Every structure is written in structure tokens, then in C-alpha cells.
Structure 1
Amino acid sequence: MSSIRTAKLKRIAAACLALLGWAALVLQYVLLLQNTNAPGLSMVEGTIRFFSFFTIQSNILVALVLTAFAIKSGPDEWLVHPFVRSAVAVYIAMVGIVYFAVLRQLWAPQGAQWVADVVLHYVMPIFYLAFWLTCVRKAGLRWYDPLLWLIYPLFYLGFILVRGKLAGFYPYPFVDAGTLGYAKVAFNTLGLLIVCAALGTVFVVVGWWLSRRQKP
């Protein structure tokens, strides 16, 4: 199979996965607004809560990366530094890991909510990691990149804690300072950051190994 045809197939696959990701995000947004209408919350508050979930933010980043890959031409695509795409891989991997290990036992979604749940927490993480392994250039990753990748999660955690204090809403039970207290939340946060940094280190090492196998 020629390299041109291979690149085209990769772009088509990325486009299909991006469409799936955007569709799941829209579905989850509609479902969340339906749920927030019950207790009388406004559409604005429901929208803010929607974007307060790390799962949603990470899936938006994934969909954006895949969309950009699908619409860019092949030669230009390889000029993009792998830093951002690898960071997104770490974030979406964290989504899948934390959901599987901690959150999936806390509820039993059904119907359309189950569909959105599976796509956002399982399908998109697995297939984006496959995309990262097969389509993203790895050359240029640095040993300290995992530390830089922690900046976004730290900013996110700061945001949800401040907003939680003001609005009384925390998107995840392990960061619910109102219930657990700030000491316990700090402990949980530290654990998540350690896992994120370790995962990032694995991605860098794998990236170094794969970059040696790819053609320059």
C-alpha cells in the first residue's frame, strides 16, 4: 500500500473518530441539560457544569486534534510538534483509567446515557491512544514534558475547587471539598498528579522508542 493511500486512510479514520467524539459530546450535553432542568437549574449553570468535567474537556481536545489531523494535508501534518498531541493522549488516558478504577462503580447509566458514557470514557480513550501510536510523530518529546503536562490538570483542579466553593458543585466525588475537606482533596489530588506524571513518563519513553523505528 502506497504512503499516500495510507495517509489518506489515516485521515479518514481520524475524521470518523472525530465525528463520533463530537456526536457523543453533543449527546452528553443534551442529557446533562435535561437532568439539570429537574432541580430547576438554569441552562447557563448546566452548561458551566458540563464544561467543568475533565472528561468533557479532554474529549473536546481529542476531537479537536483528530479534526485537525483529518483536514490538514499530509506534508504539513508531520510538521506539528508531538508535544500537544501526546499531552492530549495522557489526559484522555487518565479519563479512562480514573473512570474504570474509581467512578464506574458509582452509577449505572442506561439508554442514551450509557451510549455517551461508553464512548466518552472507553471508546475515545482507546482509539485516540491507537491514533497516537500509529499516526503521531514521536520525535521531539523531552524528558521533562510530563511535568509541563501537569500544568493543565493543576489549573483545572484549581478552577473546580474555587467554583465548588462558590457554587457548591464539584464534578467528581474525590475532589468534593465540601464533603471530604481540603486535606483529603489535597491527598487525592496528589495521587492523581503522580499517576498523571508517571503515565506521561511512559508515553515519553514509548515515544522515544517508536521514534527510533520511524523513518526520519
Structure 2
Amino acid sequence: MADFARRQVAGLALVAVVAVGSLLAGPNHLFAVARDLADRPVVFGALLVAVYLVRPLFAWPTTLVAILAGYAYGPVWGFPIALAGTTGSALLPFLAARYVGTGSGERTGWGSGLVARLGDSGERFFEATGDLRGMVASRLAPAPSDPVSAAAGLSGVSTGAFVVGTAVGEVPWTVAAVLAGGSLDHLSTTGLTAINWELIAAAGAVAVALLAGPAYRAVSVRR
């Protein structure tokens, strides 16, 4: 029980760090550094790796970092770099949530109860959709990346399905962000619009289509 309590405390502390980091660390300074390093591909690559590792702590969107990749490397090289970085970065909240949620169904208390309820809800969703289909649909939906990763970790989604589903579902968002970054003459957060409403609507429609079959079967079973 003490071990589980430590997991809960660690989880709450991590959420607090993310909240504070998102308030204090805006992307403007990051973009200024990136502008200075854009003509040094190797050093810029090291910067991208570091940014992807700390991105979840600052609640920065994955598309923001993909824009940096497109700006420095162009769409051809920027896309695989950004997609790999986005997928790897998403693993961090996924694994953290899996660690915090371990044993939540066997404990009592408000913290364990909340984690257990979130995990149970996610498990029902992925049981209906399947891990891979559910992950692809979740990534295509216009939802923040890190909460989706955390929910998957609490729900017991397999690591393989998480990685593949994330990589597939993030393709349209990554393409849009890399193309936006590659078209910039001056890297700035002002007026930066990588994602338009047409892409959001199209990706959302595909996500709904993926979930239509499992939703129909679930309703049919209840009847």
C-alpha cells in the first residue's frame, strides 16, 4: 500500500510540475534559440531531441515541435524526424500514467478511486474498439496529445499498439505542421497557424468513421 501511495504522490507532483511549467515556459524563447541554430543541422537535431523529451513537462503541443523540424530540415527530412519525435515524446506520459495507475483497482481512497475510474472508462473504450483502432482514432481526433497518452497508459493499452496507433494517427497533424514550418521565412509564434479547420474536420470525420462500427456493436449488445 505504501508503494501505491508513493505512485499517487509522484503522479500528483508530476501534474503540478506540468501545470507550473506550462504557465512559466512559453515557446517564444525556444523559437528564438531555434532561429539561431537553424543553419547548424547537427546541433539543431540535438535541440529537437531535448525539446521532445521535455515537451510533456511544459504541455507544449506536438505540432509546435514539428514546425521546428519543418523549418530546419524542410518537409522531406522534417516529416520522419517530427513523426519519430512525436511518437517517442508521447511514450513519456503513457509510461508515467501506467506507472501511477498500477494497482489502482486494488486500493482505496480518493486518489486510487479517481485513477481506477479513469482506467475503467478507458478500458471499456479500448475493449470496444481494440487497442490499435482506438489509438488511431484518438490521435486523429482533435484532442490534446498528452491526456490521450495518459488515458491509454491507465487503460492498459499495449505498448506496441500505442506506438503504431500514435504514429499512424499523428500523420496528418505532423504533415500539416512540417509543411507550415518549411514555408516560414522567419520562425515566430505570431500568426503561426499550422492546423486549419478543414484538416480538423477531415481528421475528426475519419476518427468518427473508425469508431462507428464499435459504437454500433456496443449499442446492439446493450439492447
TM-score range normalised by the length of the shorter chain: 0.3 to 0.5
Q: TM-score, normalised by structure 1?
A: 0.38
**Higher relative contact order (Cα pairs below 8 Å, separated by 6+ residues):** 2
Q: TM-score, normalised by structure 2?
A: 0.37
